[in-house]
Chain A
Amino acid sequence: MMHEHDHELIAAIADGAMNQQEQAVAEASLASCEVCSKDLELQREALVALRAAPVVIMTDLEKAELHRRVAAEFTPLDKKSDSKAAVPWFHRLMPVMAAAAALLVVVGVGSVLVNGSGSTDTAAVTTAANDTQRTAAEEGLSEATDSAEFDDAAELAPTTIAAQAAPESSIQEYGSISSAELADIADRLVGEVAGADSYPRPPELHSLSVESALVCEDIARGEGTVTAIGRATVDGDEVEIYLIDALVNVYSITDCSLIAMLE
């Protein structure tokens, strides 16, 4: 008959929690108990098998997918927040950044076509942009305009979209701006730029040469097909913005952590 205290003793022996002398004494005390000896043997067998098990970790792709999915869950929660101040800038700007990313692609198309086929194609790009403007309005991208979070966008400076774009580069440089300024820029774009499903997708845009090194490019390309890239310093945070398939990922260049994801 085995008693409860024997369990602890047997486990302690099996775990190797005793010094050699203590262990010898403990094992001797169990020698007369057949059940105890068998239990010790089983404990040791289990531990040998379990301790030989390899460490398991997630693959980089699984981690990226995890962060993508968790970030996707954040957005609806953040939109419900009543406090503008409590919400990080990258959450407040999600709809805005989606529109900005769409613009990147439109401008990128312009860049490809202008460089490759001459001015005739510029008209096609303009047409595409105009088409997408209508779609944006129809599909409710103006939601951000309706939101109290973007009320300050009413005093927009009459900056043109072209002034924000750099057609000769595949990277959109937004420069050092505040979140409010980026909100202003993007708020204006919301009314002018298409929803993600309606603009033409240049499959080779991502292969254009870039003028300076990107920090998070490898991570972004691991997520899918990158079709547009932007860069900005927003409220002091340097970020890179990638349009990946139908999603916009915003990475901090400090550690390439994903700080916003837009659908």
Chain B
Amino acid sequence: MSFRSAEDAQLISSFVEGGDRRAFDELMRAHEDRVFAVCLRILSNREAALDAVQETFITVYRKAQQFSGASAFSTWLYRIAVNTCYDQLRRSQRHLAQPLPDNNDPADSRSEETLQSIELRPDLERALADLAPEFRVAVVLSDLEGLPLQTIAEALEVPIGTVKSRVFRGRRLLAEQLRNFSGLSAHQRDEHDA
């Protein structure tokens, strides 16, 4: 058990058994940036990510007594964060499924604010957002957050082989999309020059 895991275990125990709110605050402070980063990369929108982080910690607060300690607290926390993001994505997809205005250009369906909100290269940001959620989550947790595959498997509650496959396919789709954007940009530059 790492130092952080041991400290987390002690803090969650203080909160659950003693109602120690400061222990909970400390847990939040220890993990809020990483949870935010995960949510931001998955949701591609800063406001939505902040909402997801809030919802994540409220869920942790409400379900703290259900934390069994079988996995590290951070793994459990990632599981809640990812599920919260999935819920948000489902809600936003329902929202997007509503009829679009007549003058809506599909190419501009995401606002500039959304696309430039996660501090990635714009093309990478768009390529990541275009991935199916299960691939996006795997790539974010593995390659942006640097989590071990075993931890990702536990957080997502899927076999490690599934995680490897999702990461592999996610990277491949991402690179292909980046190439598409690059080709498109070159084509646009050619048209502009002509």
Interface residues, chain A, with chain B CB atoms under 8 Å away: 7-8, 10-11, 14, 39, 41-43, 45-47, 49-58, 62-63, 65-67, 69-70, 73-74, 77, 86-88, 90-91, 252, 255, 257-260
Q: How long is the Cα–Cα vector from A66 to B32 in the complex, in angstroms? A: 9
B130 at the interface (CB under 8 A from A): no
Is A7 a contact partner of B143 (Cβ separation < 8 A)? no
Asked if B175 contacts A46 (CB within 8 A), the reply is yes
Q: How many residues in B have their beta carbons less than 8 Å from beta carbons of A?
A: 41
CA distance in complex: A69, B32 (Å): 14
Q: Closest CB-CB distance, B142 to chain A, in whole Å?
A: 9
The smallest C-beta distance from A55 to any residue of chain B, in angstroms, reads: 7
**Distance to closest chain B CB from A13 (angstroms):** 12
Please report the number of residue pairs spanning A and B whose Cβ atoms sit closer than 8 angstroms: 112
Closest CB of chain A to B113's CB: distance in Å?
A: 16
Q: In the complex, A67 Cα to B61 Cα: how many Å?
A: 12
The answer to whether B36 and A56 have CB atoms under 8 Å apart is yes
Question: Contact check: which of B19, B26, B29, B120 meets A53 at CB < 8 Å?
Answer: B120
A70-B54, A257-B25, A258-B25 given; A7·B171 CB < 8 A:
no
Complex CA gap A62/B32 in Å reads: 11
Chain B residues engaging chain A, CB cutoff 8 angstroms: 19-22, 25-26, 28-29, 32-33, 36-37, 40-41, 50, 53-54, 57-58, 61-62, 118-121, 124, 139, 143-144, 164-165, 167-168, 170-172, 174-176, 178-179
Most buried by A among B19, B37, B164: B19
- Contacts of A69 on B, CB cut-off 8 Å? 54
* Nearest B residue (CB) for A259: B21
The residue on B at minimum CB distance from A74 is B61
Q: Is the CB of A252 within 8 A of B22?
A: yes
Distance, CA A252 to CA B62, complexed state (A): 23
- For B175, list chain A residues within 8 Å (CB): 41-43, 45-46, 49
Q: How far is the CA of A58 from the CA of B50 in the complex (A)?
A: 9
- How far is the CB of B21 from the nearest CB of chain A, in Å? 5
Which 8 A-B pairs have CB atoms at the shortest separation, nearest pair first? A46-B171, A42-B175, A46-B175, A45-B175, A50-B143, A257-B25, A57-B33, A46-B174
Contact of B57 among A46, A70, A258 (CB under 8 A): A70
Contact with A73, one of B29, B58, B143, B172 (Cβ below 8 angstroms): B58
Q: Shortest CB–CB separation between residue B105 and chain A, in angstroms?
A: 27
- CA A86 to CA B41, docked complex, whole Å: 38
User: Which of A7, A54, A90, A91 has a CB less than 8 Å from the CB of B119?
Assistant: A54
Q: Is there contact, CB below 8 Å, between B61 and A70?
A: yes
Cα–Cα, bound, A58→B40 (Å): 10
A58–B32 CB distance below 8 A: yes
Q: Which residues of A contact B54 (CB under 8 A)?
A: 66, 69-70
Residue of B nearest to A6 (CB): B168
B85 CB to closest chain A CB (Å) equals 15
Selected from A8, A47, A257, the residue in CB contact (under 8 A) with B26 is: A257
